[in-house]
Amino acid sequence: MPFSPFRALAAAALTAFAATPAPAADFYAGKTIEFTVGADVAGGYDIYARAIARHLPRYIPGKPTIVVKNLPGAGSGKAAAYIATVAPKDGTAIGAIFPGAVIGPLLDDNEKPPYDPTKLIYLATADSGTRVCATFITSKTKTIEDAQKQKTVMGASAAGGSTRDYVNMLRKTMGAKFELVAGYKGTAEIGLAVERGEVDGLCGWDWSSLKAQKSDWLRDKKLNVLVQTALEPEAELTKLGVPMMWKYVPKEEDKKAAELVVSQQVFGRPYIAPPGTPDAQVKILRDGFIAVLKDKEFLADAEKAKIDINPLDGAKVQEVVTKVYASPPAVVARAKELIKE
């Protein structure tokens, strides 16, 4: 593939940061931090957030209590709007949102949400990962080549979620004959629909979430992983023989536009604070998140939960988001076309 500024930025960002110790402060002593998760309970984003919340107080001076609450809706846009406009701006409110809630306002033609993704304060991302398309063992579609030849019914969540956007993108760039059934609450519910035979599978599924939620499917070889979508190949999937999407995208303009969509995976598990949060609290929270994401006890818990940890600090996430929003208008316009119904 040609040189990509998104790929270059991602590679540099993933190796450029180093955690620094949080400054001594007593602001958080006796306080509670509300951690709003823009997804349903038991989904991948919820699993990550609750794992982090168990360890984060140890790395915030004053050891505040952290309370996790779920606020799903609009591809986690509801949670992003709450954090941006309603939540207190004193450092006691943080959130976990989908990458789609960050990049969606750039690519969707719907009414703009009541928040500006470039103004959100990014604290960290827990994973910079890969997404996949997969079908259940009972599906007649076993490979991506099969999907290019025959109808394959894929389940998806509401508008703004990767399970919908990636089906549309792969259908338009690769000629996959995907038929979309949307409206599920999240990947956990789509997984049940797959088991019941309502749909063949789903796209835009984070590989780390799949392993955490459906490790038995992988163990028992009940899943056909059709293709991996990422800026760079994922070693584990490549070893399993899962091809990258790019070899199936013939048009250069489509590759550039799809790279813009896929670049959101650089911040695959973003954590945010409200615009206007004081710099001192932002630094404490950013340092705390990175310390947790490198903590041995947390990493041991993450391994048990089968969640991948490839952290990126908040300042680097902020840089990537700014870069995405500075994309050429022609690339943005084509990317919008790719994810539309």
pLDDT at 171 over 90: yes
pLDDT at 14 over 80: no
What tens digit of pLDDT does each residue of 255-307 get? 999 999 999 999 999 999 999 999 999 999 999 999 999 999 999 999 998 88
- The three-point CA angle 179-235-232 to 5° equals 65
Look at the pTM and tell me if it is higher than 0.75: yes
What tens digit of pLDDT does each residue of 218-228 get? 999 999 999 99
- Joined tokens for residue 7: 């790929």
When pLDDT is cut at 50, 70 and 90, the band that residue 43 belongs to is confident
Find, among 227, 38, 216, the residue nearest to 131 by Cα.
227
Q: Can you tell me the mean pLDDT for 99-127?
A: 93
The chain-wide mean pLDDT, for the chain, equals 91
For the sheet with 32-37, list strands across it. Answer: 65-70, 32-37, 93-96, 270-273, 121-125, 312-313
Q: Can you tell me the mean pLDDT for 156-176?
A: 90
pLDDT at 22 over 80: no
pLDDT at 7 over 90: no
Question: Higher confidence at residue 18 or residue 299?
Answer: 299
Sketch out the chain's domains with CATH numbers.
5-128+264-339 (3.40.190.150), 131-256 (3.40.190.10)
What tens digit of pLDDT does each residue of 134-145 get? 999 999 999 999
pLDDT at 25 over 90: no
Contact call for residues 329 and 108 (beta carbons, < 8 A): no
pLDDT at 159 over 70: no
